[in-house]
Structure formats: structure tokens, C-alpha cells
Amino acid sequence: MLRLTRIASTHRAQTIKLEGKLLGPWVDDVSQACAAGTGTSSPINLDLSALIFVDVAGEQLLRDLIARGIEVVACSSYVAELLWSSAGARLLHPE
């Protein structure tokens, strides 16, 4: 199960928090939420601190989002390790 929460945007950025497991069936939902947010003038940040598992499809989505300029502002050590191997991954505040 995955919980996706939009945290009230500030003048600087809009944050989307993901909690639970990022699996293939929810990849489209996360992608659409991030795409909807990119229409605003504020950049999108991802808070992955409560993400406990990511499958192959979820990992690819996160790498694609990072490549598009979406930044990870918090993540667990598990997710940090998963993404760190990705060239150019921008992790601001791994927890």
C-alpha cells in the first residue's frame, strides 16, 4: 500500500510525501501527481522518509523523476542507498 500526500506548498516548493511501499501498481499515480505539480511555478520535492520498500518499477520512476529535476528532500537510508547508485541523484537531506 502507498499513501501519497501533498504537503502545503510554500513559495519555494511543493512537496509530495510517499509512505509505505512504492510498487508497480502505484507508479502511474505518483507520476501523475508529480506531473500535475510541475504545472505550477514552484518546483516539486519528494519526501521519501516514510517509504519502506521500492520495487524495480518504483525505483525506475524515482530515477526518472530525479532526472527530470524533481528533488528528494528526505529519505530513509534504504531509499538513499537505492538511489545513490543512480548517477546524478540529488539527495538533499537523507534521514
pLDDT 10s digits, 51-73: 999 999 999 999 999 988 899 98
Residue 53, burial from CB neighbour count under 10 angstroms (0-12, 13-18, 19+): middle
41 confidence band (pLDDT: 50, 70, 90): low
In a domain, 9, yes or no: yes
In a domain, 14, yes or no: yes
Domain of 58, CATH number, reads 3.30.750.24
Q: CA 39, 45, 49, 53: dihedral to nearest 10 degrees?
A: 50
Give the H/E segment covering residue 31.
Answer: helix 24-37
In a domain, 72, yes or no: yes
In a domain, 61, yes or no: yes
Per the structure, how many domains does the chain have?
Answer: 1
Measured distance CA(12)–CA(3) in Å, rounded: 24
pTM: 0.81
In a domain, 93, yes or no: no
pLDDT of residue 37: 61
Expressed as residue numbers, the domain containing 26 is 2-84
What's the mean pLDDT in 20-32? 96
Lowest mean pLDDT among 6-15, 20-29, 68-77, 83-92: 83-92
